Structure 1
Amino acid sequence: MLRDWKFEIQLDEQSNKAIYLQIADAIVTDIQSGRLKTGDALPGSRNLAQLLKVNRNTVVEALNVLLIEGWLVSKERQGTFVANTLPDFKEVQKGKQLTATSKNTKNKHYHLQFDDGHPDSKIAPITELARAYRQLFNQKGRWQMMGYSNEYGHLEFCKAIVQMLNHQRGMQVGEQNICITRGSQMAMYLTAQCLFTKGDYVLIENPGYKPAWKAFENAGAKLLPVNVDKDGLLIEEVTTYLKSGKKIKAIYVTPHRQYPTTVTLSLKRRLELIRLSNKYGFTIIEDDYDNEFHFGYRPILPLSSFTELKNYVYIGTMSKVVAPALRIGYLVSNDDVLIEKTGDLRKIIDVQGDSIMEQAVLQLIKDGTIKRHIKKATNYYKIKRDFMATVLNKHIVSKATYTLPEGGLAFWMEPHKPVDWLQVSRELESKGINIITPDAYSFNETINGIRLGYGSLSEKELEEGIMELAKLL
């Protein structure tokens, strides 16, 4: 055992080589030099991250590279060890070259991809959107559209989104509370930069949405994971953190359909979370990424619709409704100072949004196209969800647990037995099938569940993908 192994490396942030690859290559060098021998145990990823003063996820990425290449092996509940049989270095170098070039061409290698819940672009209202653009450019005074507009978004479009939030999601906001962004990830970034200062703590769901975590860390915040069960976020863990003396600035939640598990935060826990937010003064960042597609009676109202909640940021998107390529998101807050900061930062990095696109989508809202499309798409995805359930019942029911989601575009599945997802991923890749492995949403130890998006796949693709996955469970 070599837990006290001293790792000597100078990381170069200016290098063209990513930090995680610098770490991986340094470990390989120590293995080749004999400083690390076969069977030796590496320090835990958390300890290694502290030693190198890098994000723990960076260390995890480095270790994953070495696990894939065969330099290391992972033993359940024991740790990570130098492999007994080491790979041929020349072959590994060839593999690295392929990996470096494949990041930009990854999609070309798969004929079937289980994403994390993307919509089907084939049913997007493209014809109607094109018509709206033509009408805009044919109207009188069209040159007025070509100038600068407001950093918070086109005013009439803001009013339309506010009206939707108030009428359909039970919120009580005005156009002064909203900022239109280029997708929900930009909304997340703006929120993080305007809310956090270095040393603040943010509570996050575990498993959860890593792109949001990266936005928070980039703003200097530190992540504290809170586990999730069938009723959503574990409030007792939230309470423990709040009583620990740490400076908890915010909590990031996906209460409507938790990402990635799809569970809904229970009413009892919602009310308790709101009470804690008001008592301790932390902000609830609510990501309502999947609100539109709901197959039950009606979607659950957001936490941000509760009038007693004092500090919130509500983030939503229209990209899934219209088309993913059209980046339209928004953030809403009852904190006037935060909204003002958001506008100021927006002007620095982007000046304004795509005013012409906002006006085109506004036209689709006004003429009823968006409403009709959501109704049509909801029926379309419900049929596809039911087919996915049929396929799972046929091929996977004896091997894994899953529930029928009441909305959204993905299933959450947990195998009955532990699964080596890295190996499963390799096997599926050899058949031209891609999955998102659980380390994409795990904070610490990789969980045994997997999120399977079905919205963008045909019935034939769903059947093929599930059949091949079933063989490996």
Structure 2
Amino acid sequence: MQIDLPTARLGPIFLDLAQSIITEIERGRLKPGDPLPGTRALARSLKLNRNTVDAAYHELTMQGWLEARPSRGTFVATDLPESAATAMRASALVAPSVVSATPPVLHMTDGAPDARLMPHAELARAFRTALSSSATLTEMVHGDPYGAPRLRSVLSEYLAHERGLAAPASEVMVTRGSQMGLFLSAAALIMSGDVIAVEEPGYPLAWAAFRAAGANVIGVPVDGGGIDLDRLEQIAVETPRLTAVYVTPHHQYPTTVTLGAGRRLRLLDLARRHGLTVLEDDYDNEYRFDGRPILPMAARASDDQPIVYLGSLSKLMAPALRLGYVVASPATLTRMATVREAIDRQGDLPLEQAFASLIAQGDVRRHARKARRVYQARRDLFVTLLKEHLSDIVDFDVPAGGLAIWLKMREGLSAQQWSDRALKLGLGISPGARFTLDLATPPEALRVGFASLDEQEMSEAARLLVASRPTSTGLG
């Protein structure tokens, strides 16, 4: 099948190619279950680098348009309507179209917090106060791309107290979620053609941000102790344009393993010797159940160590509240602010002012303590259910923290099959193929989030997991 690029380029080539494939799906030329050309064949046909085609396929797989089947290839997702374009046209005349005949009732795909636990009354009160304050009204006219000054100041104090990170407010930027922080960091640090090393399996949306900045992404294996530093050292020696390394050391995404003290120190030394910037994504630092949270690498790095530290307030409260932050040198933040002003002159100032009050008054710390107790209890319940009902087909380590468990499947079983079957029953779970750069050899594993489900919902989720368990061949 021939797939063409649009004549007018709208952005990075891999996103243009992804849009072309979506168009073919929407007009019915590509139907649910249809195979896509291999990445080599399509790259040869379009005269593109194979990595570009692979990036487009990854993007569409994450969005749910495509699905990867180990050892078989890439296919149009089977849960799409027969013709997405027909459904979209019909929706304009009648009711909104349904993307899937059996949409997930319960979501365990990532490891999101439970928004029901959020301190709603305190946030509403802080938001009302912020909307009526003269400071907010003034800043709404004179927006700051670095974020509300008060939130930057209280974040500086919060990070110093909670994480041992001594960073003045001038080195803190507030962003619309940590994803914006990743995008701006990449834009500030990476030039087209540079290379960035990432954990594999790892966080696909970080890879998308790096690729949008023109970077080539190289995966570094992750084992039971975190990122493989011997392999990273080899890549650093062999790759002249290696610029940075992206890590999630506290609870590695998606496997949840913690990077030990020895590897952290060695990683900082390796980065210093090879002139690499370390991007440390500490997306769920507050959720450490066994022992105290481990200090970020940014708290131990020397003053001359190039390191960018990213965090999320959305993970602490609710994903819909888009607030993240970046701690970096003033020079790096200046470049980030320049990029931000082109797309988003300022953040959500009333929300930023409200969060500043929640942090300053101790509401955030109180919520974190409460959430830790609840999520630890949910983790323990989920572990018990897994051991009772699925210990014959999965292996896992009980995570010391974080909001998900990495289930490794026994030999001969298919994670993709399990995910497909669960979806049909009303349960969303994420197979290992979503977290790997090499779709040909994905880990047969599942990342299953437990934090957003209460006891009753978790029991139902466990029932659906058991009901959808894969066959021994992985093909039935």
* TM-score, with length taken from structure 2: 0.84
Name the SS for the 1:294 alignment partner. coil
1:324 aligns with 2:319: yes
After the TM superposition, which residues 232-381 of structure 1 pair with which residues of structure 2 at under 5 Å, given as runs?
Answer: 232-308=226-302, 310-334=305-329, 336-381=330-375
After the TM superposition, which residues 66-85 of structure 1 pair with which residues of structure 2 at under 5 Å, given as runs?
Answer: 76=71, 80=73
1:463 aligns with 2:454: no
Please tell me the residue identity of whatever aligns with 1:57.
Answer: A
Q: Percent identity?
A: 32
Please tell me the residue identity of whatever aligns with 1:55.
Answer: V
Q: In 1, are the aligned partners of 2:25 and 2:83 still within 8 Å (CA)? A: no
Q: In 2, are the aligned partners of 1:438 and 1:447 still within 8 Å (CA)? A: yes
Q: CA deviation at 1:46?
A: 5.0
1:94 aligns with 2:94: no
Q: Where in structure 2 are there 5+ consecutive unaligned residues? A: 9-15, 471-476
1:231 aligns with 2:225: yes
Name the SS for the 1:370 alignment partner. helix
After the TM superposition, which residues 40-59 of structure 1 pair with which residues of structure 2 at under 5 Å, given as runs?
Answer: 45-46=39-40, 48-49=42-43, 52=46, 53=48, 54-59=52-57
Q: Where in structure 1 are there 5+ consecutive unaligned residues? A: 1-6, 30-40
Q: CA deviation at 1:143?
A: 4.3
Q: Hey, what's the Cα distance between the residues in 1 that align with 2:135 and 2:22?
A: 54
Q: In 1, are the aligned partners of 2:57 and 2:66 still within 8 Å (CA)? A: no
The residue number in structure 2 matching 1:38 is none
Cα 1:275–1:17 shift into 2, 3 Å: closer
After the TM superposition, which residues 406-425 of structure 1 pair with which residues of structure 2 at under 5 Å, given as runs?
Answer: 406-425=400-419
1:127 aligns with 2:117: no
Question: 2:435 is matched with which residue: 421, 433, 441?
Answer: 441
Q: CA deviation at 1:149?
A: 3.1
Note the alpha carbon deviations across 1:20-39, whole angstroms, 9 max, x for none. 3468899x89xxxxxxxxxx
Cα 1:460–1:99 shift into 2, 3 Å: farther
Q: Hey, what's the Cα distance between the residues in 2 that align with 1:253 and 1:11?
A: 33
Q: Hey, what's the Cα distance between the residues in 2 that align with 1:80 and 1:369?
A: 49
Note the alpha carbon deviations across 1:39-65, whole angstroms, 9 max, x for none. xx9985356446532331324677999
Aligned residues: 443
The residue number in structure 1 matching 2:180 is 186
Note the alpha carbon deviations across 1:203-234, whole angstroms, 9 max, x for none. 01100101110010011000110000000000
Q: CA deviation at 1:110?
A: 2.1
Please tell me the residue identity of whatever aligns with 1:461.
Answer: E
Note the alpha carbon deviations across 1:333-392, whole angstroms, 9 max, x for none. 13x321111112222211111222111111111221111111111111111111111111
Q: Hey, what's the Cα distance between the residues in 2 that align with 1:118 and 1:13?
A: 39
1:454 aligns with 2:450: yes
Q: Hey, what's the Cα distance between the residues in 1 that align with 2:118 and 2:110?
A: 18
Cα 1:448–1:186 shift into 2, 3 Å: same
Name the SS for the 1:310 alignment partner. coil
Please tell me the residue identity of whatever aligns with 1:325.
Answer: A
In terms of Rg, which structure is larger? 1
Cα 1:350–1:24 shift into 2, 3 Å: closer
Name the SS for the 1:149 alignment partner. coil
Q: In 2, are the aligned partners of 1:49 and 1:55 still within 8 Å (CA)? A: yes
Q: In 1, are the aligned partners of 2:184 and 2:340 still within 8 Å (CA)? A: yes
Q: In 2, are the aligned partners of 1:20 and 1:59 still within 8 Å (CA)? A: no
Q: CA deviation at 1:169?
A: 1.3
Note the alpha carbon deviations across 1:277-309, whole angstroms, 9 max, x for none. 111111001110110111122111111111326
Note the alpha carbon deviations across 1:74-131, whole angstroms, 9 max, x for none. 674xx5499xxxx9xxx99825558878998569822212120100011111111111
Note the alpha carbon deviations across 1:250-274, whole angstroms, 9 max, x for none. 0110011000000011222111111
Please tell me the residue identity of whatever aligns with 1:201.
Answer: V
Q: Hey, what's the Cα distance between the residues in 2 that align with 1:25 and 1:321?
A: 37
Q: Hey, what's the Cα distance between the residues in 2 that align with 1:407 and 1:98?
A: 45
Cα 1:43–1:244 shift into 2, 3 Å: farther
